[in-house]
Amino acid sequence: CPVPGPPPRGGAARPGRPGPGCVRGMEPAEEDAGGFPRLIQKKRDGERLQPAEIQRLVQGVCGGGLQQGQIGALLMAVRLRGMDAGETLALTQAMAASGRVLAWPQAWRPLLVDKHSTGGVGDKASLALAPALAACGCKVPMISGRGLGHTGGTLDKLESIPGFNVSQSPEQMRQILEQVGCCIVGQSEELVPADKVLYSLRDVTATVDSLPLITASILSKKAAENISALVLDVKFGSAALYPTLESARPLAQSLVSVGSQLGINTAAVLSEMDAPLGRRVGHSLEVLEALECLHGGGPADLRELVTALGGCLLQQCGAAESVEAGSASIAAALDNGSALCTFQAMLQAQGVAPGVAQALCTGTEEQRYQVLGRARTQEELLAPQDGTVQAILALPIARVLHGLGAGRTRQGQPLNPRVGAELLVAVGQRLPLTRSSPVASTRSNKASPLVGLSLPPPQPGAWGTVGSWGQCRVMDGAL
Q: How would residue 189 be classed by pLDDT, with cut points 50, 70 and 90?
A: confident
CA distances from 475 to 83, 87, 441, 478 (A): 42, 45, 18, 6
Q: 389 lies in a domain? A: yes
Residues 341 and 275 in one domain: yes
Residues 213 and 358 in one domain: yes
Residues 325 and 423 in one domain: no
Torsion of CA 305, 307, 309, 313, to 10 degrees: 180
Q: How would residue 230 be classed by pLDDT, with cut points 50, 70 and 90?
A: very high
Residue 469 has pLDDT above 60, yes or no: no
More confident of the two residues 287 and 462: 287
pLDDT score of 366? 92
**Is residue 402 annotated as part of the catalytic site, yes or no?**
no
Residues 341 and 410 in one domain: no
Domain boundary among 82, 115, 143: 82
Instruction: Enumerate the β-bridge partners of residue 115.
Output: 231
pLDDT score of 150? 63
pLDDT score of 237? 93
| DSSP run (H or E) holding 438 | strand 438-444
Q: How would residue 389 be classed by pLDDT, with cut points 50, 70 and 90?
A: confident
Torsion of CA 240, 119, 343, 407, to 10 degrees: -100
CATH of the domain at 390: 3.90.1170.30
* pTM metric for this prediction: 0.81
pLDDT score of 388? 87
**Is residue 338 annotated as part of the catalytic site, yes or no?**
no
CATH of the domain at 260: 3.40.1030.10
**pLDDT tens for each residue of 51-100:** 999 999 999 999 888 999 999 999 999 999 999 999 999 999 999 999 98
**pLDDT tens for each residue of 310-364:** 999 999 999 999 999 999 999 999 999 999 999 999 999 999 999 999 999 999 9
| DSSP run (H or E) holding 72 | helix 68-81
> Among the listed ranges 10-14, 112-116, 313-317, which one has the minimum average pLDDT value?
10-14
Residue 21 has pLDDT above 50, yes or no: no
Q: 335 lies in a domain? A: yes
Distance between CA atoms of 170 and 166, rounded to whole angstroms? Answer: 12
Residues 305 and 436 in one domain: no
Domain that holds residue 434: 377-444
**Is residue 217 annotated as part of the catalytic site, yes or no?**
yes
Residues 205 and 321 in one domain: yes
Residues 345 and 387 in one domain: no
Residue 446 has pLDDT above 80, yes or no: no
Average pLDDT, the chain: 83
The percentage of the chain sitting over the pLDDT mark of 70, rounded to a whole number, equals 81
Residues 421 and 349 in one domain: no
pLDDT score of 477? 25
More confident of the two residues 269 and 438: 269
**Is residue 116 annotated as part of the catalytic site, yes or no?**
yes
Which among 114, 123, 195, 274 is annotated as catalytic?
195
Q: 23 lies in a domain? A: no
Counting the structural domains of the chain, the total is: 3
Residues 214 and 354 in one domain: yes
**Which DSSP symbol is given to 404?**
I
Residues 240 and 382 in one domain: no
**Is residue 209 annotated as part of the catalytic site, yes or no?**
no
Which among 116, 279, 280, 418 is annotated as catalytic?
116
Q: Is 367 helix (H, G, I), strand (E, B) or coil?
A: helix
Residues 58 and 144 in one domain: no
pLDDT score of 442? 63
Which among 126, 217, 228, 271 is annotated as catalytic?
217
Which among 202, 222, 235, 408 is annotated as catalytic?
202
